[in-house]
């Protein structure tokens, strides 16, 4: 009975032993070579694939990382590291680069600063913020770079936001000035102007010979320019 059991064990182990013997025989006649891993960092993936196939090595891409400065498919990390040993038919693990998706500048001019900041964050953008004196409503975006809907290419977007303290100023002495001088000045500020004429009762008369002879508020008055509440100015013109 014991002899029969022994033969059964031998019969079961015979295929496994045959496999080990065959594997040893093949390995001794065709040994697996060990290679030193080349440095593939900075090379293009298609070049690396050709070199690995020639060395009978496998390749495995384990990750892609966004990098705007590198071409798509550039090797940025490898394992095993350069100079280490690797056997034929083993895999070399690579991390390669890819270009990020293009970013476009949203249209933010005319919006308030809080809204602009939220929109920039929603688009994954970081900007440089500059504040400029203006009599427009404080906290308003009046300019941006790049222009709306332009692609952002290796530049930091710039946002220009208005800021003013509504400081009082002195009403200029406009007496003796022409209507064109007055209109050019008031175009810069939130002003509602009414033009009256001694020579004519016609409002909005644009006679080149007319000059300011009186105005309200009076010259030297302390005034404040406010976008929310435009300054009302009354000017009286007469011919020279």
Sheet of strand 191-197: strand arrangement: 191-197, 231-239, 210-216
Q: Tell me: the pLDDT tens digits for 63-115?
A: 989 887 888 889 999 888 888 888 888 888 999 998 888 889 999 999 999 99
- Predicted confidence band at 22 (pLDDT cuts at 50, 70, 90)? low
**pLDDT for 99-158, tens place per residue?**
888 889 999 999 999 999 999 999 889 999 998 877 677 889 999 999 999 988 888 999
- Return the pLDDT at 71: 87
Count the helix, strand and coil residues of the chain and give each as a percent rounded to the nearest 5: 25, 35, 45
What is the Cβ-side half-sphere exposure of residue 59, based on CA atoms within 13 angstroms?
20
Render pLDDT for 181-194 as a digit per residue (tens, 0 to 9).
777 777 777 788 88
Res 21: pLDDT:
56
β-bridge mates for residue 143, sequence order: 160
Q: What is the pLDDT of residue 69?
A: 82
What Å distances lie between residue 205 and 185, 197, 220, CA to CA?
18, 8, 26
Tokens 């509504």 identify what position?
Answer: 166
Place of tokens 């009076």: 218
Q: What is the dihedral of CA 185, 186, 187, 191, to 10 degrees?
A: 160
Domains parsed from the chain with CATH numbers: 31-100 (3.30.10.20), 113-163 (no CATH), 169-239 (3.30.10)
Q: Is 25 helix (H, G, I), strand (E, B) or coil?
A: helix
**Averaged pLDDT, 1-14:** 57
Measure Cα distances from 84 to 42, 88, 191, 203 in Å: 18, 13, 77, 91
């Amino acid at each position: 009975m014991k002899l029969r059991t022994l033969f059964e064990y031998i019969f079961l182990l015979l295929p496994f032993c045959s496999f080990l013997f065959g594997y040893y025989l093949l390995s001794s006649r065709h040994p697996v070579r060990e290679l030193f891993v080349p440095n593939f960092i900075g090379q293009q993936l298609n070049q690396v694939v050709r070199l690995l196939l020639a060395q009978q090595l496998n390749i495995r891409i384990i990750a892609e990382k966004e990098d705007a400065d590198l071409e798509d498919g550039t090797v940025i990390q490898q394992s095993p590291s350069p100079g280490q040993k690797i056997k034929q038919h083993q895999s070399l693990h690579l991390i390669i680069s890819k270009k990020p998706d293009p970013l476009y500048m949203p249209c933010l001019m005319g919006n308030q600063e809080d809204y602009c900041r939220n929109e920039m964050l929603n688009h994954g953008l970081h900007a440089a913020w500059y504040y400029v004196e203006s009599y427009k409503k404080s906290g308003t975006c009046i300019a941006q770079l790049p222009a709306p809907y332009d692609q952002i290419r290796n530049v930091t977007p710039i946002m220009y936001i208005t800021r003013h303290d509504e400081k009082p100023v002195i009403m200029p002495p406009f007496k003796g000035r022409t209507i064109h001088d007055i209109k050019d000045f008031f175009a810069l500020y939130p002003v509602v102007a009414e033009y009256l004429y001694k020579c004519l009762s016609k409002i909005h008369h644009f006679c080149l010979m007319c000059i300011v002879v009186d105005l309200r508020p009076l010259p030297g008055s302390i005034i404040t320019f406010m976008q929310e509440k435009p300054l009302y100015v009354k000017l009286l013109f007469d011919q020279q």
